[in-house]
Chain A
Amino acid sequence: MGRRVLVTGVGTFWGGRVAQALERDPDVEMIVGLGVEEPKVALERTEYVRADQSYSILSRIARATQVDTVLHTFLVVDSTRISGRALHETNVIGTMNLLAAAGAPDSPVRTLVVKSSTLVYGSTYQDPAWWREDMARTKPPTSRVERSLLEVEGYLRDFAEDNPHVSVSLLRFANVLGTDIVTPLTKALQLPLVPSVAGFDPLVQFVHEDDVVRSILWVMRNSQPGVYNVAGDGKLPWSEVVAMCDKRTAPLPPVLTNWAMAPLAALNVVDLPPELLDFLRYGRGVDNHRLKETGFRYAYTSAGAVQGFAEAARLRRTVGDVRPRYRYERDVEAFFRHSPAVARDPNAQ
């Protein structure tokens, strides 16, 4: 019998990507996609369930579907898209409900994978060049997204301690680049002039979007409990990243940088939240050895992720967005999945 997997945030980029990858895995028997929004990518056999952002119906779903694996991809790390209250609701309350459901006495869940971010390490001038998973950040968090992720990780630690029969994996992803992902940094890198902080040229590290999905499935398949940094090998200066994207930098003032950003954000030119302005000042590097020691092989280095993004951006500049548009139609999806009229391949699943 294969795995029965529940994916959170199936309407988001990561939830959709992870569900697609799960569908290709013959060992996965059933996939439930939980989401506030409808899926944005075509899914063959994932069952979509709409839920409110704090997942209050989750324990019922878990009992009814007997999922043994939960992939929690729905932690918001981009604070420009969401209000502070919604961020707290999604990250902290959502995870609390998820953990409550997964830790219920009759819960069938045995594997839990959570997608966090290297934002939890922060970015200050006192930081070491490379963070290992067991190191504590040098200064308390100031941005709300960092605070919410640290709270989530705290709850997760307690959960892992209280539920030794569940394999809990926490993945901390570096800033993601790739062909499709849209983040404040990818938006910034597609401007005619790319923001930087005057006088600073930090060393930055990236992970490719394909490696993000691959690593989530890797720890799920191998039941690798623990905390893992996920980031491409090597670091490169921000100026070099910008040069690889065929752009030039436009420096922001090194003092009162947040104030200088405010009018640009208000005019919708570029919006880099405080945690990313710190990143453009001091950079960040995380040690990726622990995940490699489990046997995981990265397909891209940091420079490779930048290259992949730059190539996709060049293509888009010339021919526009060529990806097929997909719209979720509830009746159509239900028909293909459940109607007796649809001839199903008996070998599938």
Chain B
Amino acid sequence: MPLRRPGTVLWREDGATADTAADLRRSDVDEWGRSEAMRSLARAVFGPVYRNWFRAEWEGLEKIPLTGGALIIANHAGAIPSDAPVIMHGIEEELGRPVYGLADHLFRALPVVGTMWSRVGGVPADPENAYRLLREQQQLVLVFPEGAKGTGKTYRERYQLRRFGRGGFVEIAMKAGVPIVPIAVVGAEESMPIAFKVRSLSRALKLPYWPVTFNQLVFGPVVGSLLYFPAKFRLRVLDPVVLDVPPDQERYSKSRIMDEAESIRVALQEQLYDMLKNRHSVWFG
């Protein structure tokens, strides 16, 4: 149920930069590097994949706020994670709101990839960046608390949530005074599952992991690195978690942060088990 027609202008000019600069600018690249023109091109390309390959289906999308900042979190999976583009595409198409996806700084160091990633809404996962997006600009920000520990899981460990870092995402939401909206994602694990990891390669290249995926074993090393299996995607939005603390504090109770992070993790894990209980087929849902 589309709440707003896609294709309308999504980005909001930062009040500070809008004045005289607006008519001088020749591109729509915002202060985070996101370009709505590039983003809508990416949506046009990814649309068929989203609809026909992954056949993504949402549950509880109305729980994502239409206005104001919110920190969206989800479980993370797939050697090259397919969950991030699916979540961003779905929310932008259905709600007509931009989503900024936080990811490792490492992306920014890569030529071409880093620039493209930034143009389609990727932002380096820095607490300062997240705070500014959430608090000052009231945007939707997507983050995967498991980080590379989630995507680096092998097939045997699928749907077993990893540690949620040190609860940094809870602290950011507290500081910014925004709710946390968890999303349970089923399907990403099977879209590019890791058979095994080559430790010596990742260590030599200083990467978090070097995966050998089932896709590569089936389709060969080149095609298999790009082609996802057509796993059926189901996404369930959980009730937003409103943290009952004043924003903009210097620091917050570490135990409170860890407790909140753990309870969100447990809730997400339970929802994943529930969704898997009702899933009859990996490919048809």
Contacts and interface: CB of A to CB of B under 8 A. Distances in A.
Interface of A: 125-130, 132, 135, 197-201, 203, 233-237, 239-240, 243-244, 254, 282, 285, 289, 300-304, 306-307
A126 B106 CA distance: 8
Contacts of B108: 125, 282
B29 A237 contact: yes
A306 B115 CA distance: 22
Contact of B106 (A125, A127, A132, A239): A125
B29 A128 contact: no
A133 B112 CA distance: 31
Contacts of B126: 126-129
B285 interface: no
26 contacts: A125-B108, A125-B124, A126-B105, A126-B124, A128-B128, A129-B123, A129-B124, A130-B128, A200-B114, A201-B115, A203-B33, A234-B16, A234-B17, A234-B21, A235-B31, A236-B25, A237-B33, A239-B27, A243-B26, A254-B111, A289-B16, A300-B20, A301-B21, A301-B24, A303-B24, A306-B24
Contacts, number: 87
**Which of B16, B20, B27 gathers most chain A CB within 10 Å?**
B20
Interface size bracket, B side: 20 to 34
Nearest to A307: B24
Given A128-B126, A128-B129, A203 B115 contact: no
A240 B25 contact: yes
A287 to B, nearest CB: 9
B170 to A, nearest CB: 20
Contacts of A244: 24, 26
Contact of B32 (A127, A129, A198): A129
A233 B16 contact: yes
A203 B35 CA distance: 12
Contacts of A302: 21
Given A203-B31, A237-B27, A303-B24, A130 B16 contact: no
B15 to A, nearest CB: 10
Nearest to A233: B17
A236 B34 CA distance: 11
B19 A233 contact: yes
A200 to B, nearest CB: 6
A198 B114 CA distance: 12
Contact of A240 (B20, B29, B114, B132): B29
A199 B31 contact: no
A208 B214 CA distance: 55
B46 to A, nearest CB: 21
Given A203-B33, A285-B31, A129 B129 contact: yes
Given A125-B109, A200-B115, A304 B132 contact: no
A131 to B, nearest CB: 9
A129 B25 CA distance: 19
A301 B20 contact: yes
B112 A199 contact: yes
A76 to B, nearest CB: 30
Q: What are the nearest 3 A-B pairs in CB distance?
A: A199-B111, A234-B17, A301-B21
Contacts of B109: 125
Contacts of B17: 233-234, 301
B112 to A, nearest CB: 4
A243 B25 CA distance: 10
B21 A304 contact: yes
A129 B128 contact: yes
A128 B126 CA distance: 6
Nearest to B126: A128
A240 B105 CA distance: 23
A301 B19 contact: yes
Interface string B242-253: 000000000000
A316 B31 CA distance: 31
A110 B145 CA distance: 51
A303 B33 contact: no
A198 B31 contact: no
A201 B26 CA distance: 15
Given A129-B124, A240-B25, A243-B26, 14 more contacts: A125-B109, A126-B124, A126-B126, A130-B31, A130-B128, A130-B129, A132-B128, A197-B111, A200-B111, A203-B33, A233-B21, A237-B27, A301-B19, A307-B24
